[in-house]
């Protein structure tokens, strides 16, 4: 996991907006999809909102990479 210098992030829940920073960027995982659809690649991120809450771990979809799909070996 790579630690970050604190890229700003915000979380909006209804009328409540919490400001924080990106603390770490982790691994990726390929999640299976429905039959006939490509798998989704997700990236692990750790967000720190300070005293508002505990650090939050999220998995965000990465954009598809251009080029041919690589088959597992």
Q: 3-17 pLDDT, tens per residue?
A: 666 899 999 999 999
Tokens representing 42?
Answer: 């997700």
Confirm whether 54 is domain-assigned: yes
Q: Tell if the pTM clears 0.85, that is, is over it.
A: no
pLDDT for residue 18: 93
**Domain housing 20:** 2-30+40-61
The mean per-residue pLDDT over the stretch 35-60 comes to: 90
In a domain, 72, yes or no: no
Residue 71 lies in a domain: no
- For residue 25, tell me if it sits in a domain: yes
DSSP assignment letter at 72: P
Question: How many domains in the chain?
Answer: 1
Closest CA to 29 of 4, 1, 62, 3: 62
Q: Is residue 11 domain-resident?
A: yes
Tell whether 21 is covered by a domain: yes
Q: Which long-range contacts (CB under 8 A, 24 or more apart) does 25-34 make?
A: 25/1, 26/1, 26/2, 27/1, 28/62, 29/59
Q: Report, as an integer, the average pLDDT of 35-40.
A: 83
């Amino acid at each position: 996991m790579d630690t970050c210098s604190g890229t700003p992030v915000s979380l909006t829940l209804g009328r409540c907006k919490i400001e924080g920073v990106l603390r770490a960027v982790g691994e990726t995982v390929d999640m299976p999809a429905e039959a006939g659809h490509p798998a989704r690649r997700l990236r692990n991120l750790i967000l720190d909102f300070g005293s508002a809450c505990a650090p939050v771990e999220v998995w965000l979809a990465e954009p598809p990479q251009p080029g041919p799909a690589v088959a597992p070996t």
